[in-house]
Amino acid sequence: MSTAEQAERREPVARTAVSVALAVSAYGISYGALGVTAGLDVWQACVLSLVMFSGGSQFALVGVIAAGGAAAGPAAIASATLLGSRNAIYAMRMGPIIGKGWLRRLVAAHLTIDESTAVATAQKELTEQRKGFWLTGILIFVGWNIATLAGALLGNVMGDVSRYGLDAAAAAAFLGLLWPRLSALQPVAVAVAAAVVATVLTPWLPPGLPVIAAALVAVIVGLTNWGAR
């Protein structure tokens, strides 16, 4: 394969990683602002992004704290842990892509999130999968932490951060990754059923449980191999 052809093959995964990173990082502003509104200091919000680095878990944590104050700490930690447990499932899928080496796997464990997994698994070749994972994970880690600091510093100046639609940007990025894969009956069935399950259960279950329940749809379909043909 010529150098020009190799460059052409690299561009799509790089564009995807950058576009997803920009959308998700922008959402970090919302987290930073919500964190300080919930009672966290700027440094606490930033440290949480550095060491936890899982947007859903972080929002679950500050959401429960905002509703119940410091007394809700144990419930907040439990909700964040439950929601973050999905990353362990991602890790099993990403293991062969990451490769060997304890240091590489240690760093990869911190970067194994929804977006890095989605971009990686959307690629067909191993080298592109590996590139998609690392590029997306690193860009989002940097962007998310910068956005967290910006949102935390702006804090109350921004007012209600939901009105800026940053959550819609992250959802749109995921839809863009998902849409090309809905070309057969099985992935369409998984997507529709998971969406229905999550929507129905969200008003009734604590944060994290609807996501886990929706993930079970994929497990059931995978075990039965329903709709594969």
Give the contacts of 175 (CB within 8 A, at least 6 positions apart): none
Provide the 8-state DSSP code for 204.
T
Among 43-52, 53-62, 197-206, the range of highest mean pLDDT: 43-52
Q: How many Cβ atoms are within 10 Å of 156's Cβ, its own excluded?
A: 8
Mean pLDDT (the chain, rounded): 79
pTM listed for this prediction: 0.70
Amino acid identity of 77? I
d(CA 91, CA 112): 7
- Supply the pLDDT for residue 57: 79
CB 196, CB 76: distance < 8 Å: no
Q: What share of the chain is helix, strand, coil (3-state, %, to 5)?
A: 85, 0, 15
Q: What is the mean pLDDT of residues 114-124?
A: 89
Give the contacts of 8 (CB within 8 A, at least 6 positions apart): none
Q: Which of 213, 210, 207 lies closest to 64, judged by CA?
A: 207
Query: Residue 144: pLDDT above 90?
Result: yes
Q: Which of 41, 34, 60, 13 lies closest to 147, judged by CA?
A: 34
Of the listed ranges 133-137, 157-161, 190-194, the least confidently predicted one is 157-161
Domain boundaries, the chain: 3-179, 182-229
- Supply the pLDDT for residue 175: 65
Q: Identify the three-state secondary structure at position 129.
A: helix
- Supply the pLDDT for residue 216: 79
